[in-house]
A = this chain, B = another copy of it.
Amino acid sequence: MIKSMSKAELSELRESLSRQYDSYKLKGLKLDMSRGKPCKEQLDISEDLLTVLKSNDDCFDSTGMDCRNYGILDGIPEAKKLFADLMEVSPEEVIIGGNSSLNMMYDTIARAMIFGVDGVSEPWGKQEKISFICPVPGYDRHFSICESLGINMINVPLSSEGPDMDMIEKLVSEDGSIKGMWSIPKYSNPTGITYSDEVVRRLAALKPKAKDFRIFWDNAYIVHDLREESDKLLNLLEEAKKYGNEDMVYVFMSTSKVSFPGAGVAAMAASTKNVDYIKKKMFSQTIGPDKLNQLRHVRYYKNVDGVREYMKKHAAIIKPRFDVVLEFLSKELGGLGIADWFEPNGGYFVSVNVENGCAKKVVSLLKEAGVTMTGAGATFPYGKDPDDRNIRIAPTYPPIEELRIAMELFCICAKLAAVEKYLELK
């Protein structure tokens, strides 16, 4: 425990850590652990997706519709079936989008800003104040959407079970400005936790003051297991039906980390009432997304089992990277009382809480030595981590040797920052 060291011990440790840090700095590293990007080997496994549609005759869907031509706003039937099976909903509850689920989320909120939502036609953009509940730490891109649209964000702490439900129940029942809630319910970005059944049930049963309150259920890591023992997430749309709350839920996912991040297929699921409403608004918005890419994905991955098979190939590539991260954390920071983290069964991140007040320092030390991390604070609304302690590690992209070096250095910096903090307190 660093906390209980004497001033002399701390000084000595600082000197040793500084020496180690300086020796890394001399190496002129250039490593990037900032974004949750699949690595080249992962992209390579879906090579044949590129050419699965080979000829003109390959371009017709199951109804005989020519996917090269105009038509179909909400997705070809076989794509709706595949995504329905993945999200455990019915095809009528599915809308297929372009290549970006983030874009579908943005559009869903932008539509609410302009038109309101089904059943509550007062546009959010005309209301004085719109707030979203943001479980923290969370996904910076969610928070960017809110910030860009001027939506007030309310932090709610996320434990290993999910967000603090007492707090959420109180907030949404009392504050009518709360129109939405972000959530990455499975292998949460960044903490890697999965919402417990109880949390999902309590979300399903919410009694929000605002009738146009919506849960944005970003199921980005729905099939992104790392290990044999995978987390099981309760189906929120199904649960919500038990309380007549099915219109309160928008579910999102994509194949960005199944096939290609830059050229995958995104989808959303919602009650048929919501789907009808959204489709009506979508009609003026676009002719419809790329159907050939939908067909490509269905022909290539075929069905849920096909997708799961590919996810095993992904896991085989990225699990060793997660192992490196977790091994270093445990070996170098375990038992020191200056950091905690969660060992996820899936997803794309390891989230580390370093000593309070030290995250910025750690990230800047790493930066100075040539290792780019997601900015400290990025996992919180407005980039403000109130305790300045959370750091998101994205292990998938860098080669494993680089990751090893980066993690060695990460642990040195985490210790160095903690030691300096305690020295100052002495």
Residues of A within 8 A of B (CB): 35, 37-38, 40, 43-44, 47, 50-51, 53-56, 58-59, 66-72, 98-100, 102-103, 106, 110, 113-114, 123, 125-126, 141, 144-145, 147-149, 256, 260-263, 281, 283-293
Determine how close the nearest CB of chain B comes to the CB of A342; give it in whole angstroms. Answer: 24
Contact present for B70 and A262 (CB under 8 Å): yes
Contact present for B69 and A37 (CB under 8 Å): yes
8 contacts between A and B (CB under 8 A): A43-B59, A43-B69, A69-B261, A71-B262, A72-B262, A103-B285, A144-B284, A145-B284
* Chain B residues with CB under 8 A of A55: 47, 50
* Chain B residues with CB under 8 A of A43: 56, 59, 66, 68-69
* Chain B residues with CB under 8 A of A284: 106, 141, 144-145, 147-149
Determine how close the nearest CB of chain B comes to the CB of A42; give it in whole angstroms. Answer: 9
Determine how close the nearest CB of chain B comes to the CB of A241; give it in whole angstroms. Answer: 30
Given A286-B106, A290-B293, check contact A35 B125 (CB 8 Å): no
Determine how close the nearest CB of chain B comes to the CB of A50; give it in whole angstroms. Answer: 5
5 A-B pairs closest in CB distance: A148-B284, A263-B292, A103-B286, A68-B260, A70-B261
User: Nearest chain-B residue to A54 (Cβ)?
Assistant: B51
* Chain B residues with CB under 8 A of A292: 50, 260, 262-263
Contact present for B290 and A98 (CB under 8 Å): yes
* Chain B residues with CB under 8 A of A123: 125
The distance in angstroms between the C-alpha atoms of A123 and B290, with both chains bound, is 31
The distance in angstroms between the C-alpha atoms of A55 and B43, with both chains bound, is 11
Best-buried of A100, A262, A283 by chain B (most CB within 10 Å): A262
Contact present for B106 and A285 (CB under 8 Å): yes
Determine how close the nearest CB of chain B comes to the CB of A175; give it in whole angstroms. Answer: 23
New contact pairs (17) apart from A99-B290, A100-B287, A141-B287, CB-CB < 8 Å: A40-B66, A44-B56, A50-B51, A50-B292, A51-B53, A68-B260, A68-B262, A69-B261, A72-B262, A102-B287, A106-B286, A114-B114, A144-B284, A148-B285, A256-B287, A263-B290, A263-B293
